[in-house]
Structure 1
Amino acid sequence: MEKQIPTLYEWAGGLEKFEQLTELFYAKVQADEKLSEVFRHMSPAHAKHVAHFIAEVFGGGKLYTEGDGGSHARMVQHHIGKMLTEELRKRWLHLLLETADEMGLAADPEFRSAFVGYLEWGSRLAVINSQLPENPVGQQEPMPKWGWGETGGPYMPG
């Protein structure tokens, strides 16, 4: 009998865990001296939408694209023109990982490697895209998919 490897979504504990993570995290963001300025106009549904986005990327079905009517292009659009800095990115990442530890998100090396890999990749793209005047991602572009291992090669814009 072949062993079935769970998705990152399943391994983390499913939607409830991602919603808990983002709810606790964005409460910290709102209280943070530096990040609160970036997120001051955040909608009450923001944390849930981000949870659904991450959950979908990690294999949780079409929670963001079908449930929230989102897309990869729509998520990228939220960052366009925000002029995010490396300092803000690092602070955002630090608070998110701190929250993951505090709430008991899966902490085994394999999961955390994949989790941190995605957060590093996504947050660095957010900084790059935040410097742009227009969205480089078209509506037809698929949602990112993240698994247990490999990267997609070097970043080459355009």
Structure 2
Amino acid sequence: MTTSDRPSQTTQRAELYARLGGHDTFERLTRRFYEGVATDEVLAPMYEGDLDGGEERLRMFLEQYWGGPTTYQEQRGHPRLRMRHQPFRVTPDARDRWLTHMRAALDDVALDPEADRAMWDYFVRAADAMINTLEPRP
């Protein structure tokens, strides 16, 4: 196969998005995730009553990251995850809670093992990168 015969990166990402189940998968994933966040005493207050907005933003971001529509960037610009999370106290405890809710959401979505592993690896790396303080809540 020559370089010109290979699918473009955009095509490969779109195929990945489709293999993951497309919009329906990401909608179910983020809905389930935010059901957990809504009852979390550490994470819920960070959303200042805007859990629906958070759910939509996360869904759009994940869809774009995993090869789907670029709606997130069109509406909000570059993700700049560290900058967008800087106003919040993201401690190791907050990270662990975030990961707990995301693990439950991934389990509910029940992706094939390879896709689950890829997404989980990404979520762990991303959550680790968001930690911006080691200080517990005041």
Q: TM-score, normalised by structure 2?
A: 0.76
Identity in percent: 26
User: Which of 76, 82, 104 is residue 69 of structure 1 equivalent to?
Assistant: 76
SS of 1:22's partner is helix
Of 85, 100, 115 in structure 1, the residue corresponding to residue 119 of structure 2 is: 115
SS at match of 1:32: coil
Q: Which amino acid aligns with 1:111?
A: A
Superposed CA deviations along residues 7-58 of structure 1, whole A, max 9, x for unmatched, are 4322221012112211221122011223222233435322011111011111
The answer for the alignment partner of 1:95 in structure 2 is 101
State whether residues 22 and 51 of structure 1, in contact with CA within 8 Å, keep that contact through their aligned partners in structure 2: yes
Show the counterpart of 2:136. Answer: none
Counterparts of 1:120-135 in structure 2 under 5 Å? 120-127=124-131, 130-131=132-133
Q: In the alignment, is residue 83 of structure 1 matched against residue 89 of structure 2?
A: yes
Indicate the structure with greater helix content: 2
**Structure 1 regions of 5+ residues with no counterpart?**
132-158
Distance 2:26 2:52 in 1: 16
The CA deviation string for residues 93-118 of structure 1, in whole angstroms up to 9 with x for no partner, is: 1111112212x341x22111210111
Partner of 1:148: none
Q: Which residue of structure 2 aligns with residue 36 of structure 1?
A: 44
The answer for the alignment partner of 1:53 in structure 2 is: 61
* Residue identity in the other structure for 1:110: E
In structure 1, distance between residues paired with 2:57 and 2:64: 10
How many angstroms does 1:122 deviate by?
Answer: 1.0
Structure 2 runs not aligned, ≥5 long: 134-138
What's 2:19 paired with? Answer: 11
Q: CA RMSD in A?
A: 2.5
TM-score, normalised via structure 1 length? 0.67
Quickly say closer, same or farther: Cα 1:32–1:83, change in 2 above 3 A. Answer: closer
How many equivalent residue pairs? 125
Following the alignment from structure 1 to structure 2, what is the Cα–Cα distance between the partners of residues 27 and 11?
25
